[in-house]
Structure 1
């Protein structure tokens, strides 16, 4: 509790001290300059806070998604799942690659894997199935496997997933809809 009071005191005291110092040093012009600086800093801080709160709430813009690496994509997917009411367990440490397990109130389970983030040139040449290994849990009827990728999937990937049963591929377009607020049910993913 004490750090919160100290932070609040500094947040109030620092601008007042700055304004007094600027007024004594530069006069009325310094006071006006100080007020403008405080207004600009407050506006920038509020804008940054709004962005952070939006991301923590599980909403991302297309530009923010495009800048994510493999681990960042897993964090974003976990936040989006939590936004939609799923309880999420990060299996990354156990598996070595980003991996999530999620369960909702209806008892549905998701095994979420991530296809590596690569440049578009490398993505064109990649073929074969999406990397999806067993997570060490017995396969249940309610377990749905989802592979998330920022780009698109090749025809071979789609054929591979259709042969697996219970595997759904979430491409960049669907990922953006999901990050905009659509649920997985609206995207037609979990069985």
Structure 2
């Protein structure tokens, strides 16, 4: 038996399926017990109210499930993007890359989100997240120099295509600096919304490779 289990040919043990079985049993029994109690306490009106309540809860759970599945599939609404912090934005970027067929590895260190990605053609990405706090400074009129963009570029990633993701808008100085350094692609808030809506990085102008 131990040998079959090691080979993956012996089914799961009771302890593996028991939690799911208990959850399924409770999800079936709880509504029945609730309706029975309401019927005993309030009669037909109670059963009617119970059915309405169960339908409302079921609908809410279904909508929540669909939202979770959509996000895990790499699709976000603009409102959802706006609520993300640095780590959340990195997670969203990783999910969108996987959605588009990239293999992704999280290389974040000391609170600085960073991703490495590779596609089927061999292209490699060094993906950095510009801090979300910069958006607040931008809205308050605080100037952020292009040095912020330069700091997001890893010095030992010369053989990679560099992608910098930002919820806000890059300055003209940022854009000029990136355009003068081949293989650096800036994804601002508007492009990020397109990416989260289903467009690929290639649709957003990602270079096909280093020159």
Q: Shorter chain as normaliser: what TM range?
A: over 0.9
Matches within 5 A, 1:68-147: 68-93=84-109, 96-118=111-133, 120=135, 122-123=137-138, 124=141, 125-129=143-147, 130=149, 131-134=151-154, 136=156, 139-140=158-159, 143-147=160-164
- Structure 1, unmatched stretches of 5+, are none
Q: TM-score, normalised by structure 2?
A: 0.84
Check conservation: 1:61, 1:180, Cα contact below 8 A.
Answer: yes
Offset of residue 128 of structure 1: 2.0
The Cα of 1:163 is off from its aligned counterpart by: 2.3
Aligned residues: 187
2:83 corresponds, among 67, 74, 92, to: 67
- Classify the secondary structure of the residue corresponding to 1:89: strand
- Greater alpha carbon shift after TM alignment, 159-168 vs 169-178: 159-168
State the alpha-carbon separation in 2 of the partners of residues 189 and 69 from structure 1: 24
Instruction: State whether residues 153 and 162 of structure 2, in contact with CA within 8 Å, keep that contact through their aligned partners in structure 1.
Output: no
For the residue of structure 2 that corresponds to 1:185, the secondary structure is coil
Deviation at 1:190, TM superposition (A): 3.5
**2:135 and 2:197 mapped to 1: Cα distance?**
23
Structure 2 stretches lacking a partner, 5+ long: 1-16
Superposed CA RMSD: 1.5
Distance 1:186 1:6 in 2: 47
- Normalising by structure 1, we get a TM-score of 0.92
**Shift in Å, 1:2:** 1.7
Which aligned segments of 4 or more residues in structure 1 are displaced greater than 4 angstroms?
Answer: none
Q: CA deviation at 1:18?
A: 0.5
Change in CA separation of 1:110 and 1:178 when aligned onto 2, cut-off 3 Å = same
How many angstroms apart in 2 are the aligned matches of 1:89 and 1:75? 11
